[in-house]
Amino acid sequence: MLSVSLYKGGYMELIDNLRRYRDILTGKVAPELCINNINIVNTLTREIHHGDLVIDNGKILGFERMEAKTTIDGHGRYVAPLLIDAHIHIESTMLTPMVLNDIFLPRGIGKIIADPHEIANVCGTTGIQYMLDCAERCDLDIRIMLPSCVPATHLEHAGAILKAADIQPFYSHPNVLGLAEVMDLEAVIHEEDMLKKITDALERNRNIDGHGSILNTKDLDLYASLHIRNDHECAQTDGMIDRLRRGITVFIREGSVIKNLKELLPIVNDKNAHQICFCTDDMHPDDIVKEGGIDHVVNLAIQQGLDPVLAITMATLNPARHYKLDNQGAIAPGYVADFFMFTDLNHIVAEEVYKNGRLIASKGIPLQPKKQIQVSVPEKVKFSINCAEYQVSDIQLNMGNHNALKMIKIIPGGVITPMHIEITEKNIFNQFVPNTDKDHTKLVVIERHNQTGNIGVSAVKGFGLTNGAIATTVAHDSHNIIAIGTNDFDIIMAIEQLRKNEGGYVVASDGKILSHVKLEIAGLMTNRDLTDLIEQMEDLHTKAGYFLKNKTFNPFLMLSFISLPVIPEVKLTDIGLIDVNTQQVINAVTDIVT
C-alpha cells in the first residue's frame, strides 16, 4: 500500500519524481526551496541537530545547503514534523472538517486519524461518504477509519446497521486506513460478521483500532491475536503495561472529558515509547479554541516533564508508523515536507506551517482557509431527526408498589457510571418523580432515526440539576434524543426544540427555551461560523449552569456518555436501563427495606 499523498500519479509520476530528486541532488537542477540555519527535531534519532532543509515538489530532499529558487533563513528556530492526532471523532468538535482544517493547520496539526463513528450511527454509509467528501476538500490530512460497531451494541437502536458488506467497499477510497475502534467485545466473541470486518481489514493489511475499556488480560490476548493492535481507552498504568507487552500500541488520550495523560505518562520510557501515541478522541469546540488539539496534549506532556523531542515523536513518527504511513512523521530526505517552525522547545507554538513544502499558515492564520467551501450535504444528513410521535405518558417510569429505583450514578470527571439504588419519590400514579433534594433527575432517551417509538426512561443520581431540563441529539453512540430534567414539562419543551432545530443542544426551564444550539448536520455538527457556535455554546453552558450544582463537568458531554452502553456500568438507551457488564436490560424498580 503506497502512501497516497506521494504517488497518486502512479508509476510515471513516481519515476519522474525520482529523476527530478536525483537531478537536484546531483546539482543539475535547483530545488524550489532551501531553509537554512534551523534546528531539526529529528524524530528518527530523537535528537535535535542543526542543519538546512532542501525541499522540492512537496518532499524533503536533504540536510545540506543548496542554491535554491527560494532561500529562507530559519534563524536557528526549531523545525518539527506536523503533528498527528492518532484518534479523533470529528463530530465531537461539532465542526465540519473544513472548519477544523482552519483551526488545526495553523497550530501545526497536519493529520488526524478520524473515526466517523457518530455520523455513521446516525446516517450510515451516507455519513461516512459525507465525511470523506469533506476530507477531500481539506489541506488537513484527514484519514478515515471505518466504523466497526454500528450500532455499538444490540442494546440500543442507532440510525443504521453497518455490516461487513456495507463498509467493505470504502477500502478502495485512498483516505481510508482501516477498521475503527472495535468496542463491542460481545460481537467479537459471538458474531460472524465482526470476524468478517476484521478479516476484510487484515486481508488488505489495514489497521484495526481497539477500544479496551472493559478488557481483562485474557481479552487483551484475544484482541492482540485478532490483530486489534491499539487502544485509546487505556486509563491505568497496569493496563498500559499489559497492552504494550502484547504489542498493543497505546494512544494516550487527553480529551475534553477523559484525561489520561497524567496517569499514564510515568510508564513512557525510551524503550517502549515507539508503541505510544497521543490522541484526543473527543474534543469540545470551546476547548479546541482555547487550548488547541493534539498540540495542547504535546505541550501538557512536556509540562509534565516528558522530553520535548520524545513528546513530538509520539505525536508524529509513532502514529505515522503505526498507521503504515510511509515517509511521514519525520524531517528527513524522502519524507513529505510537512513541518512547522517554532521558537520555544518547552512551549511549542507553531509560527510558520508548511504542508507539502508550501507555506500554508503563518502566525496562527491559515493562508488558504477552507471554511467557505461548500460540500453538498445529503438529505439523510441534513434531516436526521426522525422520531415517532409520543405522549407525556410515554416518558413515565412506573414503580408500582415498589419504593426504590436502580439508577445511574454520576461520578464527576469520569464516564463510568455505577449503579445506585435509592428510595425515590413517586406520584399518585406510582410514577417516579424527580427530587432535587435527593439529586434525582429523570433521564429520557427517544429513538430518533427510524420512528421505532422506542423510549427509555430512568432515574439519575448526582447530576446536580436543580431546575428545568437539558437535552441533546449528541448522545454516544446512537445519538438518539437524550434529555434530563427535574420535570416532564421542561423535558418535553427541550425535546421539541431539538426536533425543530434538526438537532443540537437545548436548555429549558419553567416552560421556556433559555438557550439552544442548532447542529443541523446529522444533529451533530454545524456549518455555521465558529464564533457564533462558540458564543451560542457559551450561552448554553451559562444557562445550563444556572441549574447545576456541580460545575466540575460539562453537563452535555456527561449526558452524551450516560447513554453509551459500551462503557461501564449502568446506562440508559432507547430500549431501557442497561447493565453493561451483563449486557442485559435491567428492571429498574426495586425495594429498600426501611
Binding-site ranges for a second copy (CB under 8 A): 1-2, 7, 10-11, 14-15, 18-19, 21-22, 25-26, 42, 44-47, 49, 54, 59-64, 188-189, 195-196, 198-199, 202-203, 205, 217-218, 220-222, 224-227, 229, 241, 244-247, 269-272, 274-275, 326-327, 330, 332-335
Strand 570-573 and strand 576-579: the pairing is antiparallel
**Residue 402 CB, nearest approach to a second copy (Å):** 37
Please tell me the number of Cα atoms within 13 Å of 551 on its side-chain side.
5
Residue 17 or residue 466: which is nearer to a second copy going by CB? 17
Residue 40 or residue 94: which is nearer to a second copy going by CB? 40
The count of other CB atoms within 10 Å of the CB of residue 353 is 29
**Residue 540 CB, nearest approach to a second copy (Å):** 45
DSSP state of 335: S
**Residue 215 CB, nearest approach to a second copy (Å):** 11
586's grid cell: 435491567
**Residue 555 CB, nearest approach to a second copy (Å):** 39
**Residue 26 CB, nearest approach to a second copy (Å):** 6
Residue that is written with C-alpha cell 471523532 in the block:
89
Contact 402, 589 (CB under 8 A): yes
284's grid cell: 469540545
Residue 46 or residue 420: which is nearer to a second copy going by CB? 46
**Residue 556 CB, nearest approach to a second copy (Å):** 38
134's grid cell: 469533506
Residue 335 or residue 556: which is nearer to a second copy going by CB? 335
**Residue 49 CB, nearest approach to a second copy (Å):** 6
Strands (DSSP E) contained in 57-164 are 59-62, 70-73, 78-81, 83-88, 109-114, 141-146
**Residue 220 CB, nearest approach to a second copy (Å):** 8
Residue that is written with C-alpha cell 470476524 in the block:
195
Q: How many angstroms from the chain centroid is the CA of residue 366? A: 23
H/E stretch holding 241 = helix 237-245
Residue 269 or residue 552: which is nearer to a second copy going by CB? 269
Residue that is written with C-alpha cell 466473541 in the block:
189
DSSP state of 357: T
Residue 119 or residue 268: which is nearer to a second copy going by CB? 268
Considering only CA atoms, which of 235, 274, 227, 279 is closest in space to residue 255? 279
Bridge partners of residue 507, in order along the sequence: 470, 515
Residue 41 or residue 158: which is nearer to a second copy going by CB? 41
578's grid cell: 442497561
Residue 245 or residue 551: which is nearer to a second copy going by CB? 245
